Structure 1
Amino acid sequence: MKTGNRLLQFDICILEEQTQLTLNDLCCACSVPTEQIIELVDIGILEPIGSEPDHWNFDGISLNRARIALRLQRDIGIDLVGAALALELLDEIKLLRARLRAVDAECPGDNFC
């Protein structure tokens, strides 16, 4: 899609958590070199299954986390430690929202359950 002189690119990727991606698959999906994904693992942003990079597998959640971290780094200059913190906070928000939905389901419209 073109807007003015800029070309907008949309990435749509629907993956299940159970999807297994190799290190190479993840690098291709994120358009980054292997070293960048290894750095995300070293800092704790990603947790691969497997002991060595040649045997690593990642799930769909890892792809999402990698893309968010790399986007934060690229778009607003956050270093990877800051991106890791931002991801932790996003995870906490997601957990709290799920808890709030559970409470709302138990007590719909009632503030005094």
Structure 2
Amino acid sequence: MPKKVEQLSGVLLDEESELTLSELCRACGVPAERIIALVEEGVIEPRSRELQWRFSGICVRRVRRVYSLERDLGVNLAGAALAIELLDEIERLQAHLARLEKGRKR
């Protein structure tokens, strides 16, 4: 009997990508109310607040991180927002340190 081969496909999202509110909800598996709460808490920010909110692809990662913190660690929304800020700062500092170390090796 031949093996059934599953094929995966996906979309690469980055800072340049734009998603609507409904696309962000689908990508993260959360309802619109949840995204709105994250916007109100300052965890994510729409690029445009005109007729239809547009979000960068980076927001997918942030929403999923918040959901993970809440689900896995029982952190509330305010705590998750603070944790996301701190994680972002750590990533910025690590990138800065890597650039400094790379410059020193030259």
Same fold (TM over 0.5): yes
Q: What is the TM-score of this pair, normalised by structure 2?
A: 0.83
Q: What is the TM-score of this pair, normalised by structure 1?
A: 0.78
Partner AA of 1:24 in structure 2:
S
Identity fraction in percent: 46
1:70 positional shift = 1.1
- In the other structure, the counterpart of 1:40 is 38
> What are the superposed Cα offsets for residues 32-56 of structure 1, whole Å, 9 maximum, x if unpaired?
111000000000000002225x510
Distance 1:99 1:37 in 2: 30
Distance 2:33 2:20 in 1: 14
- In the other structure, the counterpart of 1:55 is 52
Distance 1:16 1:93 in 2: 19
Aligned residues: 97
1:77-96 equivalences in 2 (<5 Å): 77-96=74-93
Query: Please, what is the CA RMSD of the aligned residues?
Result: 1.7
- In the other structure, the counterpart of 1:3 is none
- In the other structure, the counterpart of 1:68 is 65
